[in-house]
């Protein structure tokens, strides 16, 4: 059995034994073409119940099952919501066998998370449920950022690399909080060297992978950007620590470091556009840190691209990013809270450089 199949069996057992759902009310791997003949979707687990008022069978719950190591993200929820739009269930849930998140569908069509207590079949049918309090991230003061327990939490949760220089920790903790929740202080759209920032999507939980098979799961800030080609794409920026590896079958031995990841979502799907190893790419100058990138780029199965080619491409679209033979992404103040005014150029440079890299990748893939 596949890892997902094992989780599915475990979940069905939980539904029957713990949630007291009759086995005959549970269906697995339901092809949605049986309800909507145009649909090619397949729901992992569907729970039905008889509506006593109308004496008709209705969909109560749809569960999307992932393998145990797969994080539950906004994408997972979007997936199960696409089934909900056809089956019109009262609840949806997502699970990887370790975590189970159940959501009730509100009248406006949005999903609201329930608390983690055990609900029975009767509870769900009778709406005898409680909603989880939404914990929102807030913009922290620099004193709060600098608190050693907060920084240790970021390291433990994988947002700062465990071997990153401790002198950088307060700056990186501030950088992450700035990226995720600093409000934009000017009117949108922001026009910038051929691109424009159209909309701020705020922070949400995602997983994005790279060509080598690594991935970064956690909080990203999303922006709708009108690209150099005039199309709209979503760019998401997040900061993550990589794991320290010893004799890894793929990567061998590798130090842990902190990376700034920019991921792109457009009509073609989603991918990592830029992984900036912060430990190697920032230099301190007086009261600020300056960010550089060496220009390394991988174009999917075509492999790595010559750095000169990347620099030539940058010089064509954003020549002022070329400084000291590297790509200069901007500077941010150290030892203080970063305001939007101080950080806007850095964010816009990141978005522009990520877009230039995507454009080059697409050109190479067309050849």
Q: What would the pLDDT profile of 194-214 be if each residue is shown by its tens digit?
A: 999 999 999 998 988 766 667
* H-helix segments, 214-270: none
The confidence band for 280, taking pLDDT boundaries of 50, 70 and 90, is very high
In the chain, pLDDT over 90 holds for what percent of residues?
77
pLDDT score at 131: 94
**Between 178 and 33, residue with greater pLDDT:** 178
pLDDT in tens, 99-130: 999 999 999 999 999 999 999 999 999 999 99
pLDDT score at 173: 98
3-125 is classed in which CATH architecture?
Answer: Alpha-Beta Complex (3.90)
Residue from 232, 202, 234 nearest 220 by CA: 202
In the chain, pLDDT over 70 holds for what percent of residues?
99
Please check whether residue 288 is in contact with residue 334, taking contact to mean a CB–CB distance below 8 angstroms.
Answer: yes
**Between 364 and 95, residue with greater pLDDT:** 95
Please check whether residue 160 is in contact with residue 258, taking contact to mean a CB–CB distance below 8 angstroms.
Answer: yes
pLDDT score at 31: 92
pLDDT score at 1: 81
How would you classify residue 301: left for phi > 0, otherwise alpha for psi between -120 and 50, otherwise beta? alpha
| Lowest-confidence segment of 48-57, 230-239, 256-265 by average pLDDT | 48-57
Concatenated DSSP letters for 87-115?
H--SEEEEE-SS-EEEEEEPTTS-EEEBP
Q: At what angle are helices 340-366 and 307-317 packed, to 10 degrees?
A: 120
For residue 124, give both structure tokens.
Answer: 């769900």
Concatenated DSSP letters for 323-336?
ETTEEEEEEEESSS
Name the CA radius of gyration of the chain, rounded. Answer: 23
- Is pLDDT of 357 > 90? yes
**Dist CA 118 CA 7 (whole Å):** 18
- Is pLDDT of 352 > 90? yes
Please check whether residue 192 is in contact with residue 254, taking contact to mean a CB–CB distance below 8 angstroms.
Answer: no
Interval 218-222 mean pLDDT: 95
pLDDT score at 364: 87
- Chain mean pLDDT for the chain: 93
For residue 304, give both structure tokens.
Answer: 């790595």
pLDDT score at 212: 60
Residue from 180, 357, 363, 182 nearest 276 by CA: 357
Interval 256-284 mean pLDDT: 92
Helical (H) or strand (E) element with 149 = helix 148-156
pLDDT score at 213: 61
- Is pLDDT of 50 > 90? yes
- Is pLDDT of 43 > 90? yes
Tell me the CA end-to-end span of the chain in Å, nearest whole number: 40
pLDDT score at 227: 97
- Is pLDDT of 367 > 80? no
Interval 32-49 mean pLDDT: 90
Interval 269-295 mean pLDDT: 93
**Dist CA 337 CA 174 (whole Å):** 7
pLDDT score at 358: 94
pLDDT in tens, 168-198: 999 999 999 999 999 999 999 999 999 999 9
Domain ranges of the chain: 3-125, 142-366
The confidence band for 267, taking pLDDT boundaries of 50, 70 and 90, is confident
Q: Look-up: residue for tokens 């079949």?
A: 121
In this structure, which long-range contacts are made by residues 198-206, counting pairs with CB atoms below 8 Å and at least 24 apart in sequence?
A: 198/223, 198/224, 198/225, 198/226, 198/232, 199/223, 199/224, 201/234, 203/137, 204/74, 205/71, 205/72, 205/73, 205/74, 206/73, 206/74, 206/75, 206/236, 206/238, 206/263
């Amino acid at each position: 059995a596949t890892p997902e199949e094992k989780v599915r069996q475990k979940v069905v057992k939980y539904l029957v034994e713990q949630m007291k759902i009759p086995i005959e009310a549970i269906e697995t791997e339901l092809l949605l073409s049986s309800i909507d003949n145009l649909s090619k979707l397949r729901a992992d687990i569907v729970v039905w119940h008889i509506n006593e008022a109308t004496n008709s069978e209705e969909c109560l719950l749809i569960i999307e099952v992932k393998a145990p190591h797969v994080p539950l993200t906004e994408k997972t929820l979007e997936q199960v919501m696409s089934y909900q739009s056809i089956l019109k269930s009262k609840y949806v849930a997502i699970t990887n066998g370790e975590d189970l998140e159940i959501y009730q569908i509100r009248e406006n069509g949005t999903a609201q998370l329930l608390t983690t207590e055990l609900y029975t079949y009767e509870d769900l049918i009778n709406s005898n449920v409680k909603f989880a309090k939404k914990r929102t991230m807030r913009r922290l003061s620099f004193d709060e950022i600098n608190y050693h327990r907060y920084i240790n939490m970021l390291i433990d949760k994988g947002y700062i690399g465990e071997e990153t220089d401790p002198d950088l920790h307060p700056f990186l903790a501030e950088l992450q909080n700035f990226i995720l929740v600093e409000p934009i202080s000017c009117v949108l759209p922001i026009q910038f060297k051929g691109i424009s920032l159209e909309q701020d999507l705020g922070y949400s939980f995602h997983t994005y992978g790279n060509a080598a098979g690594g991935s970064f799961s956690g909080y990203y800030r999303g922006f709708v950007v009108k690209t150099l080609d005039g199309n709209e794409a979503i760019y998401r920026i997040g900061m993550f620590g990589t794991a320290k590896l010893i004799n890894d079958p793929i990567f061998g031995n590798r130090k842990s470091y902190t990376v700034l990841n920019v991921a792109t979502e457009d009509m073609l799907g989603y991918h990592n556009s830029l992984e900036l190893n912060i430990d190697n790419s920032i230099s301190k100058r007086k009261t600020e840190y300056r960010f550089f990138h060496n220009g390394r780029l991988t174009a999917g199965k075509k492999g790595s691209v010559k750095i000169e080619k990347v620099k030539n491409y940058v010089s064509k679209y954003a020549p002022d990013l070329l400084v000291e033979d590297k790509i200069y992404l901007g500077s941010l103040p150290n030892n203080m809270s970063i305001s939007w005014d101080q950080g806007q150029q850095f964010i816009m440079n990141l978005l522009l450089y990520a877009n230039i890299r995507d454009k080059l990748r697409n050109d190479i893939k067309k050849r």
